[in-house]
Amino acid sequence: MILALLLIGGISLLLLGGHYLVSHAVNLAAQLKLSPLVISLTIVAFGTSAPELVVSLDAVLTGHDDIVIGNIIGSNIANLLLVVAVSALIFPVTLVKATIKREGAALIAASLLFALLAHDGLFSSLDGLVLVACLVVYTAFAFLKPSQNGDGVSDETGTEDRVSPTAGSTAIMRDLLLIAAALAALALGSHMFVDGAVRLSLVLGVSEAVIGLTVVAVGTAAPEIVTAAIAAWRRQPDVVIGNVVGSSIFNLLGIAGTTALVSSIEVDHRFLGFDFGLMLATSILIVVGGLVLGRLGRTVGAMMLFAYIGYLVKLV
């Protein structure tokens, strides 16, 4: 009974939080005259990755380093295969080539840096500092670079120009508060879902590494899944891509870096084999596919979904 309440209650909060997060993130982008992509790469992405950060910090403080690394890599695989697949199946995701080239390159670079620092079997505090510094640079660049097409600025500029500064500030504050509330709902929903899922997996006798790569990874990636699905339904491809890429970069740089600053993380080299290879290969394929096709349709989405299911079957 408790298990069912945790799972159902968690999913309900995820759906509610995802709906308000997408809606008010797009509103905030328009108010600030920023592209929805910028908001999605930063505020939305970092916010939906909060569950991964909390789980990883708790895991490293209790000596479960495999869950930390499994959560980071597993969440990224879920982001790049499952989240994109679900979004594409709901509505084909159109990709701006300049965007996918720039942000895709950043994701691949972050992945390679993660592997390089993990290669010696330990994320030290110095490694953590390097990762966090790279995240700060990436975030600053996301806000400072000019918009490629100005798609974040409302077409109704004349109407917005007539809005008083006080009214504009009130609207921005309202959107920020509702985004914060939506993120809180996502965090609580994710916590309930992960709690229920971990209890279920422990009953089934699954190893800690597999739990990190599957149950915890999918559970903590649930906010990204719901947010991207709602964004796809609302025809907001920038939010889909920004959320997926931004969350993946935050996982690699922000979560690994912050966790390593708190306590050094031992890295089992098995994570740097097939699991990391799949994550990197998927990143490259999405970038190449986006540049060649310009969109991710339902056929591609179905293939990615089956690939993720195959990955889970292999693990279990």
Q: d(Cα 265, Cα 283) in Å, to the nearest integer?
A: 24
Question: What is the arithmetic mean of pLDDT over 59-70?
Answer: 83
**Residue 163: what pLDDT?**
45
**Residue 52: what pLDDT?**
74
The answer on pLDDT for 18 being more than 60 is: yes
Spatial CB neighbours of 220, under 8 Å, sequence gap ≥ 6: 51, 52, 55, 71, 75, 190, 194
Tokens 């840096």 identify what position?
113
**Residue 306: what pLDDT?**
94
**Residue 291: what pLDDT?**
86
Q: pLDDT > 90: what percent of the chain?
A: 28
The answer on pLDDT for 125 being more than 60 is: yes
Residue 123 pLDDT grade (very low, low, confident, very high; cuts 50, 70, 90): very high
- What are the pLDDT digits (tens) for 256-289? 999 999 999 999 888 889 999 999 999 998 888 8
**Residue 260: what pLDDT?**
94
Name the CATH code of domain 35-147+193-315 (choices 1.20.1420.30, 3.30.43.10, 1.10.1370.20, 3.40.50.2300): 1.20.1420.30
Which range is most confident: 168-182, 189-203, 210-224, 242-256?
242-256
Indicate the domain borders of the chain. 35-147+193-315
**Residue 167: what pLDDT?**
57
The answer on pLDDT for 16 being more than 90 is: no
Spatial CB neighbours of 189, under 8 Å, sequence gap ≥ 6: 9, 10, 11, 12, 13, 14, 16, 17, 222, 223
Spatial CB neighbours of 88, under 8 Å, sequence gap ≥ 6: 232, 296, 297, 298, 300, 301, 304
Q: d(Cα 4, Cα 10) in Å, to the nearest integer?
A: 10
3-state SS of the chain is CHHHHHHHHHHHHHHHHHHHHHHHHHHHHHHCCCCHHHHHHHHHHHHHCHHHHHHHHHHHHCCCHHHHHHHHHHHHHHHHHHHHHHHHHHCCEECCHHHHHHHHHHHHHHHHHHHHHHCCCEECHHHHHHHHHHHHHHHHHHHHCCCCCCCCCCCCHHHHHCCCHHHHHHHHHHHHHHHHHHHHHHHHHHHHHHHHHHHHHHHCCCCHHHHHHHHHHHHHCHHHHHHHHHHHHCCCHHHHHHHHHHHHHHHHHHHHHHHHHHCCEECCHHHHCHHHHHHHHHHHHHHHHHHHHCEECHHHHHHHHHHHHHHHHHHC
**Residue 150: what pLDDT?**
44
- What are the pLDDT digits (tens) for 99-119? 888 889 999 999 999 999 999
Lowest-pLDDT range, 5-14, 191-200, 226-235, 296-305?
A: 191-200
Name the more confident of 307 and 205. Answer: 307
- What are the pLDDT digits (tens) for 203-249? 767 666 676 667 767 776 777 788 888 888 888 888 888 888 888 99
Question: What is the arithmetic mean of pLDDT over 7-30?
Answer: 76
Which range is most confident: 30-39, 150-159, 161-170, 178-187?
178-187
The answer on pLDDT for 302 being more than 90 is: yes
Name the more confident of 87 and 19. Answer: 87
Spatial CB neighbours of 35, under 8 Å, sequence gap ≥ 6: 29, 147, 148, 149, 150, 151, 152, 153, 238
Task: Provide the residue type at 78 as one letter.
Answer: A
The answer on pLDDT for 253 being more than 90 is: yes
- Provide φ and ψ at 256, rounded to 5°: -60, -40
- Is the C-alpha dihedral spanning 61, 274, 95, 224 positive or negative? negative
Q: d(Cα 36, Cα 210) in Å, to the nearest integer?
A: 35
Q: d(Cα 16, Cα 289) in Å, to the nearest integer?
A: 32
